[in-house]
Amino acid sequence: MQVSVEATSQIERRVTFQVPAAEVDQAVEARLKDTAKNVRLDGFRKGHVPLSVVRQRYGRGVRDEVVGEVMRERYVKAITEENLNPAGYPNIEPQVNEAGKDLEFVASLEVYPEIELASIEGTEVERPVVEVTDADVDEMIETLRKQNASWEEVERAAEDGDQLTIDFQGFLGDEPFEGGSAEGHELVLGSGSFIPGFEEQLVGAKAGDEKEVKVTFPEDYQAEHLAGKEATFKVKVHKVSAQQLPEVDAEFIQRFGVEGGDVEAFRAEVKKNMTREAKQAVDNRVKQQVLEALKKANEVPVPQALIQQETDALKRQAAQQFGLGEDFDVSQLPNELFAEQAKGRVQVGLLLAEVIKQGELDATDDEIKARVEELAEQYQEPQQVVDYYMGNDQLKTQVKSALLEEKAVDRLLEQATVKDVEMSYQEALAAAQQQPEQDDEANTEGEADKA
């Protein structure tokens, strides 16, 4: 077999194969003889059909079958011998496929890029310094009270924060528009869940009132036929309800798994959870800055096959988030909505895999177990969570990938200039959310295995 490899770009290869005619023809002949042993044709007993008849009837199909097998086998052998690292499946096409002639075929494929990592030295990374204060804990407990609040009907005018039960119908001019009506809708004033200006005009309304609310839809409103249009809503108020916050007593505290209902133990648990959340926000803020610097310093070509794989994963994730169901055909979602994000995720995954490879980074079973135990603290039965994770190879691999990514970020952080910036708890969470979402950029361990 003769093989030649041509680099058509940094990550594209064209591999040309030539297989001696005798080798292919002999394999075809052997397959025809095997076929003749089992074929049934009218006028012949099983196993007694002349080979010439079998060749005439099945020769083309048998040759195509054999040639397909030969091309796959030779391709697999060639990528090993030529040290090729395919990213995705090849496109294999026969060029010459005739009896008595050498078989010639071409495999076009993408390979993982060869990466020479550039340093991120000189990058300034802001690292939030956060302390969870008693005031932060008070605010969080107040939030928990609101999340567990009940509503009680009141005989007064509506105030900001009250819940109204309303019927409404929207009009453009004198014509009602589709999707602009509802009955028995529960609306919390000040929640911002309706078009800007709608809720404010219902402050002061009482049960039984009928009001006309005039609003202008935002220019970027998702329904194009309503964007920028002035509309009138006819609203009937059925009920005004005030929020009733639960007392921070033993019954309330026990809802959050704090046995005994002790207030100080509850505050300590809340602070512990907030501290863990603040640490995650700080780590995420630092991580995103490091990864952005890594991308800017290393422009690497990204195989289209990997981009498509990541695009498909993002589509499935989007379908799940929007509750479209397991049977939803994600191919209906256009690739262009996800392609740019997918490319960025693959690029970062490739770069992190190279950092892990060059740094010979690894995560031991003890480190994996320690991380699982840390994650399990958030659950009421932590040991069950630990046992479940440690008994599942797939979950252990996910944890290992996360640990390797953290180690890679720490290694990169050594090259940067770190500036500590004091932030409140809320500021740190907001800062982390403002960063581009790079979480789960790629399965870095999987990329490291391939690279």
CATH at 178? 3.10.50.40
DSSP letter assigned to residue 333 = S
Residue 123: predicted pLDDT: 94
Give tens-digit pLDDT for 356-372: 999 999 999 999 999 99
- Across the range 102-113, mean pLDDT stands at 96
Q: What is the spatial distance between Cα 13 and Cα 92, in angstroms, rounded to a whole number?
A: 12
Is residue 226 in some structural domain? yes
Q: Side-chain half-sphere of 196: how many Cα atoms within 13 Å?
A: 9
Q: How many other CB atoms are there within 10 angstroms of residue 227's CB atom?
A: 12
Query: How many domains is the chain partitioned into structurally?
Result: 3
Per-residue CA distances from 147 to 15, 62, 120, 162 (Å)? 62, 69, 44, 14
Last residue of some domain: 195, 211, 244?
244
Residues 285 and 394 in one domain: yes
What is the mean pLDDT of the segment spanning 216-239?
A: 91
Does 335 fall in a domain?
A: yes
* Structural domain of 326: 124-135+261-450
The percentage of residues in the chain with a pLDDT greater than 70, rounded to a whole number, is 95
E strand or H helix at 48, and its extent?
none
Do 205 and 270 fall within a single domain?
A: no
Residue 141 lies in a domain: no
Percent of the chain that is helix, strand, coil (3-state, to 5): 45, 20, 30
- Listed range (171-180, 203-212, 230-239) with the worst mean pLDDT: 171-180
Q: Are 182 and 167 in contact (CB under 8 A)?
A: yes
pLDDT band at 171 (very low <50, low <70, confident <90, very high): very high
Residue 296 lies in a domain: yes
Axis-axis angle for helices 365-376, 393-413 (nearest 10): 100
Instruction: State how far the Cα of 345 lies from the Cα of 342, in Å rounded to an integer.
Output: 5
Q: Are residues 216 and 307 in the same domain?
A: no
The pLDDT value given to residue 444:
45
Do 290 and 401 reside in the same domain of the chain? yes
Residue 146 predicted with pLDDT over 60: yes
Residues 330 and 281 both lie in one domain: yes
User: E-strand spans in 173-219?
Assistant: 175-188, 210-216
Residues 6+ apart with CB under 8 A from 96: 102, 103, 104
